């Protein structure tokens, strides 16, 4: 290699003819186009703009489409002509002037067809056939997938969101001379003061005495040449690989605060004749994983950011403007976040902006939840290797991910999958040794033990790991890469578990957490669509319409509006409470010294996944602000040992300083306050400028509060520059309620715990059986383990229960299967309502007295989060009344509805009342003050419902029908 700092770079001889714009398109729903010869006789049809997905003109279509475009070209002897496609979802094959020029499988990567022999002067007809696989059938052997219905193509997970297709990236005709520069990789090693250059050159003939010239300038200052080098090379016919190392001293490093970029121009020439040239933008930076910490340019960096699913409005799969990408990334950069995990293949526009703003990116293909087939392994490697080749010159891309949640790969034996990912891990590292590469986001989980889970297991607490290779550790190193989710409202145990993540010497990268449903303000989202969008009926627009109409149907109920307010009130309150949940969880992870990075799921709403910190238009939700506060460089995290206590019960408050900025902290103060703001106890102190990253400021182990009510712990941190950072955590003291029922009849598998509480509260426990004769006593029937008990005496109990209720009594049924009671007790059909990530609300002040008022459930009821719900429409049709319900958006495409379910409700039966409660109070009440208070409230409510009951029906045998009944 020779260095030459005086020779000017050669002029670029390559030309690109932009083929974007209006194309003809023909839809082929019966897949008969090939049979009918459309590649030679295009049938006509509609117009479409390329690039775009064909759903932008025909929403909800899946299958085959044909494109046509005329290319007016000029050719010269010896020229190379290539058709370059940015991407086509999913399988594309093309014909030029009736001659087949090639095919490509894979919806996210660019591909090229050499048309040097087919292109002629003048007009050329280009026809492209694209197959977008549907979910419910195969076309040409391709089928997209859905959760628990995996397909065998590696982009199938895209179909969970919007199953789009077509020529969604640009198309161009590239013309070059005899030889053309292909793949280029620039290895930045600023710590070694060098830049390694790797280049592939495709030549139609052998060439001796060629030169490859490197010129490096500042990206935004092309006149400022900072490096030049020339490498002599001989080219073979076909592909020649050229590599050399250029000394690069005093390179300005790409950092979060100073994302400086360079531009390299590689020019291929023979003597004075330039053959081709290629420009590559890059940054001089190094990223590594050392001693359990990520490092950028040798300095520790804790990754704080978001999962980016690549979903955008209107197009569903790509941003239709630079502005929306800049809007989303600028917001998180300004709020102090530094990282995005691009799971669905990062868009070039996203990487451009991340490069320029200084955001770190983990790049990975959408390989997850995939089925085994003879082609699966090759398909996956094609996506992985293509991703690495395309993005490895990006300064912002600091880490590769190969697969997602490998324990959901259908049809693979664990040993088969492990063998594949270990090989791919090593192959990627050979392609790019400058970055860490993680084999499986979410870890291997149960696969290591020969099992497969249908839905997400808790990989963090199972102790299962992923494997990483990094520049400093080129051998597989275990890392706990976890996807860790929990129910909301957040229980104290949940955030405490996050503080304890990690075991032994394994550090933790929390690559997914959160996913609490925080629906957007649908009125605002819908208003952002244009009249044309509405007229076309774009898929994402229709989805939001359906969600909104479903929600409005729920809020047509007067009782719901009285409890939680109007639709938008519920949306605002739900967002505020879930933001508070995730703020505490995020603080817990930051306080954990083993957590090296945390990735909130997710940045923006994606299809039915309504748990973004932004809505689909990238407007922030309260979640974004809460996460920013918990990720601030300087703040105080507050950790009460429990947020719900009884009067006089001891609890603990720990306060921890989080300090990561150059600005020194100055002083702190913490106060325990009443609901009215009165300070009950306070603490304060001074801080030195060199305070440690995590410093315990307060650990008060034996605090008590004697009066029931709402309280909070608040913290204030004053920085040396005078800036004040505040944080607070609410507390609630739950007083006991007296039992008003003097006698309670209790039966069932967990009836003993209820009986003990009744006796402890001064009541009398009565047995319930088929011979029950006490109409004034409320009945508690625990059905938890009764489904397998179908003896004659069991059904006799059901008959007696019906008689007691119909005569004016009241019974509480804990966790029954309503279908079991159908015809015996319940007068009509009540079906279960399966829900995902329920947002629960409370309706009745009398049931939740002393706990919370009507409204969206907050942390006070977090320990009572039910898992079973029944359909509210069925309940209301029988004249029922709802006491606790939930609204839950159905994820992953259709139906785009809010499931509306009830966990506590009552039904009128004859002259009496049956209360159904799916909250496991008999199990929780002995050790949980909230459950105990709700149980007592429920017993008191049931007692008040009994009004002058009749004993007549109870005097006959249980199996005898009441007057008018027929069995």
What is the sign of the dihedral through the CA atoms of 869, 873, 877 and 881?
Answer: positive
Helices (H), 787-885: 792-806, 818-821, 872-877
* Residues, the chain: 967
Q: Is 500:471 a contact under the CB 8 Å cutoff?
A: no
Q: Is 600:513 a contact under the CB 8 Å cutoff?
A: yes
Torsion of CA 847, 849, 850, 854, to 10 degrees: 90
- Phi and psi at residue 428, to the nearest 5°: -65, -40
Nearest to 5 by CA among 288, 258, 230: 230
276: helix, coil or strand? strand
Query: Which strand ranges, in their side-by-side order, compose the sheet holding 299-300?
Result: 287-290, 293-296, 299-300
803: helix, coil or strand? helix
DSSP designation for 815: S
User: Which pLDDT score, from 0 to 100, does residue 159 have?
Assistant: 76
Nearest to 225 by CA among 442, 377, 3: 3
Q: Does the pTM of the predicted model rise above 0.85?
A: yes
pLDDT digits over 873-929, tens only?
999 999 999 999 999 999 876 789 999 999 999 999 999 999 999 999 999 999 999
Q: How far apart are CA 598 and CA 514, in angstroms?
A: 10
User: Which pLDDT score, from 0 to 100, does residue 931 have?
Assistant: 96
Distances (CA, A) of 966 to 816, 818, 911, 952, 960: 24, 20, 18, 18, 10
Interior/surface letters 848-873, b for 16+ CB within 10 angstroms, e for the rest: bbbbbebbbbbbbbbbbbbebbbbbe
Q: Is 196:190 a contact under the CB 8 Å cutoff?
A: no
DSSP designation for 357: H
Q: How far apart are CA 550 and CA 555, in angstroms?
A: 9
Helices and strands of the chain, counted as H and E runs: 18, 47
Q: How far apart are CA 590 and CA 360, in angstroms?
A: 18
Nearest to 344 by CA among 634, 80, 89: 89
Q: How far apart are CA 131 and CA 36, in angstroms?
A: 17
Distances (CA, A) of 245 to 189, 190, 284, 920: 10, 12, 14, 67
Q: How far apart are CA 816 and CA 837, in angstroms?
A: 21
Q: Give the DSSP letter string of 447-501.
A: GGGT---SS---HHHHT--EEEEETTEEEEEEEEEEEE---SSPPHHHHHHHHT-
- CA neighbours closer than 13 Å in the CB half-sphere of residue 946: 26
Sequence-separated (6 or more) residues with CB below 8 Å from residue 862: 488, 489, 490, 491, 492
User: Which pLDDT score, from 0 to 100, does residue 893 have?
Assistant: 67
User: Which pLDDT score, from 0 to 100, does residue 830 have?
Assistant: 93
Sequence-separated (6 or more) residues with CB below 8 Å from residue 235: 179, 201, 203, 206, 207, 208, 210
Q: How far apart are CA 124 and CA 118, in angstroms?
A: 9
DSSP designation for 797: H
Q: Give the DSSP letter string of 114-173.
A: E-TTT--SEEEEEEEEEEE--SSS-BTTB---BTTB--SSTTGGGGGT----B--S-EEE
966: helix, coil or strand? coil
Task: Flag residues of the chain having pLDDT under 50.
Answer: 1-11, 446-456, 460
Surface-to-core class of residue 158, CB atoms within 10 Å of its CB (0-12 exposed, 13-18 middle, 19+ buried): buried
Distances (CA, A) of 365 to 109, 155, 787: 10, 8, 45
HEC assignment per residue over 319-343:
CCCHHHHHHHHHHHHHCCCCEEEEC
The residues with which 197 forms a beta bridge, in sequence order, are 186, 244
- Kindly report each contact of residues 146-149 with a partner whose C-beta sits within 8 Å and lies 24 or more positions away, as own/partner: 146/892, 146/893, 147/369, 147/892, 148/454
User: Which pLDDT score, from 0 to 100, does residue 445 have?
Assistant: 57
Sequence-separated (6 or more) residues with CB below 8 Å from residue 957: none
- Phi and psi at residue 520, to the nearest 5°: -75, 170
Helices (H), 177-256: none
Nearest to 844 by CA among 645, 555, 573, 564: 564
Nearest to 85 by CA among 123, 129, 120, 32: 129
What is the sign of the dihedral through the CA atoms of 352, 353, 354 and 358?
Answer: positive
Helices (H), 392-465: 414-431, 459-462
Sequence-separated (6 or more) residues with CB below 8 Å from residue 768: 745, 746, 747, 779, 780, 781, 797, 800, 801
564: helix, coil or strand? helix
């Amino acid at each position: 290699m020779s260095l030459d700092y005086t020779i000017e770079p050669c002029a670029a001889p390559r030309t690109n003819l932009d083929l974007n714009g209006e194309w003809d398109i023909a839809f082929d729903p019966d897949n008969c186009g090939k049979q009918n010869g459309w590649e030679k006789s295009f049938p006509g049809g509609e117009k479409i703009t390329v690039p775009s997905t064909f759903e932008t003109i025909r929403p909800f279509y899946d299958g085959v489409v044909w494109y046509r475009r005329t290319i007016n070209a000029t050719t010269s002897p010896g020229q190379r002509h290539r058709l370059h496609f940015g991407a086509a979802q999913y399988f594309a094959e093309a014909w030029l002037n009736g001659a087949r020029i090639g095919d490509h499988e894979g919806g996210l990567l660019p591909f090229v067809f050499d048309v040097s022999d087919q292109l002629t002067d003048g007009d050329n007809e280009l026809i492209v056939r694209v197959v977008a696989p549907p979910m419910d059938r195969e076309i040409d052997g391709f089928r997209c997938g859905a959760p628990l219905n995996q397909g065998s193509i590696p982009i199938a997970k895209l179909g969970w969101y919007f199953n789009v297709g077509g020529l969604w990236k640009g198309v161009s005709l590239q013309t070059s001379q005899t030889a053309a520069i292909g793949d280029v990789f620039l290895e930045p090693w600023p710590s070694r003061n060098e830049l390694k250059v790797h280049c592939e050159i495709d030549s139609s003939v052998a060439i001796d005495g060629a030169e490859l010239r490197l010129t490096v300038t500042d990206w935004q200052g092309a006149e400022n040449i900072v490096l030049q080098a020339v490498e002599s090379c001989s080219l073979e016919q076909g592909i020649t690989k050229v590599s050399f190392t250029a000394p690069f001293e005093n390179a300005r490093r790409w950092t979060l605060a100073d994302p400086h970029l360079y531009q390299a121009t590689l020019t291929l020439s023979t003597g004075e004749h330039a053959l081709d040239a290629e420009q590559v933008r890059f940054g001089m930076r190094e990223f590594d994983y050392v001693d359990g910490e990520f490092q950028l340019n040798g300095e520790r960096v804790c990754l704080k950011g978001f999962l980016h699913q690549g979903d955008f409005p209107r197009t569903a799969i790509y941003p239709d403007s630079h502005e929306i990408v800049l809007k989303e990334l600028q917001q998180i950069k300004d709020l102090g976040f530094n990282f995005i995990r691009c799971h669905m293949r990062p868009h070039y526009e996203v990487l451009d902006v991340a490069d320029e703003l200084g955001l770190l990116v983990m790049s990975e293909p959408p390989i997850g939840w995939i089925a085994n087939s003879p082609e699966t392994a090759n398909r996956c490697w094609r996506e992985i290797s293509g991703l690495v080749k395309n993005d490895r010159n990006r300064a912002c891309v600091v880490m590769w991910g190969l697969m997602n949640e490998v324990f959901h790969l259908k049809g693979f034996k664990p040993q088969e999958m492990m063998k594949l990912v270990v090989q791919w891990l090593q192959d990627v590292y050979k392609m790019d040794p400058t970055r860490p590469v993680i084999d499986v986001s979410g870890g291997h989980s149960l696969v290591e033990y020969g099992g497969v889970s249908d839905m997400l297991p808790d990989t963090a607490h199972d102790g299962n790991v992923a494997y990483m290779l990094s520049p400093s550790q080129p051998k597989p190193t275990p890392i706990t890469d976890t996807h860790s989710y929990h129910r909301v409202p957040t229980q104290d145990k949940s955030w405490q578990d996050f503080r304890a993540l990690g075991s032994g010497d394994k550090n933790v990268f929390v690559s997914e957490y959160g996913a609490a449903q925080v629906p957007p303000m649908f009125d605002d989202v819908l208003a952002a669509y244009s009249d044309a969008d509405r007229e076309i009926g774009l898929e994402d627009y229709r989805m939001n319409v359906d969600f909104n109409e479903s929600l409005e149907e729920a809020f047509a109920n007067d009782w719901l509006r009285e409890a939680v307010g109007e639709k938008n009130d519920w949306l605002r309150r739900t967002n505020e409470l879930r933001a508070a949940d995730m703020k505490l969880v995020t603080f817990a992870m930051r306080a954990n010294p083993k957590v090296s990075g945390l990735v909130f799921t997710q940045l923006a709403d994606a299809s039915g996944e309504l748990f973004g910190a932004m809505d689909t238009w990238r407007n922030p939700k309260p979640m974004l602000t809460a996460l920013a506060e918990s990720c601030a460089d300087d703040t105080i995290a507050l950790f009460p040992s429990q947020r719900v206590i009884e009067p006089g019960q001891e609890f603990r408050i720990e306060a921890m300083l989080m300090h990561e900025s150059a600005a020194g902290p100055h002083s702190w103060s913490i106060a325990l306050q009443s609901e009215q703001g009165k300070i009950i106890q306070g603490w304060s102190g001074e801080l030195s400028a060199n305070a440690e990253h995590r410093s315990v400021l307060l650990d008060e182990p034996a605090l008590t509060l004697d009066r029931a009510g709402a309280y909070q712990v608040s913290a204030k941190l004053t920085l040396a520059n005078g800036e004040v950072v505040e944080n607070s955590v609410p507390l609630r003291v739950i007083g006991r309620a007296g039992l008003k029922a003097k006698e309670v009849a209790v039966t069932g598998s967990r009836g003993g715990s209820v009986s003990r509480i009744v006796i402890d509260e001064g009541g009398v426990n009565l047995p319930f059986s088929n011979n029950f004769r006490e109409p004034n006593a409320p009945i508690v029937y625990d059905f938890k383990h009764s489904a397998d008990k179908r003896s004659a005496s069991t059904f006799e109990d059901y008959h007696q229960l019906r008689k007691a209720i119909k005569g004016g009594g009241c019974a509480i049924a804990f966790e029954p299967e309503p279908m079991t009671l159908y015809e015996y007790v319940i007068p009509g059909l009540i079906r279960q309502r399966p829900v995902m990530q329920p947002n629960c609300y409370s309706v009745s002040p009398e049931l939740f007295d002393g706990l919370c008022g009507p409204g969206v459930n907050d942390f006070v009821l977090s320990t009572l989060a039910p898992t079973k719900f029944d359909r509210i429409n069925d309940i209301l049709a029988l004249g029922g009344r709802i006491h606790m319900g939930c609204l839950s958006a159905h994820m992953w495409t259709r139906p785009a509805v809010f499931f509306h379910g009830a966990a506590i409700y009552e039904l009128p039966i004859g002259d009496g009342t049956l209360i159904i409660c799916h909250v496991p109070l008999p199990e929780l009440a002995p050790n949980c003050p909230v459950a105990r208070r709700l149980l007592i409230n429920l017993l008191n409510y049931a007692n008040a419902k009994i009004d002058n009951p009749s004993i007549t029906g109870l005097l006959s045998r249980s199996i005898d029908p009441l007057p008018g009944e027929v069995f």
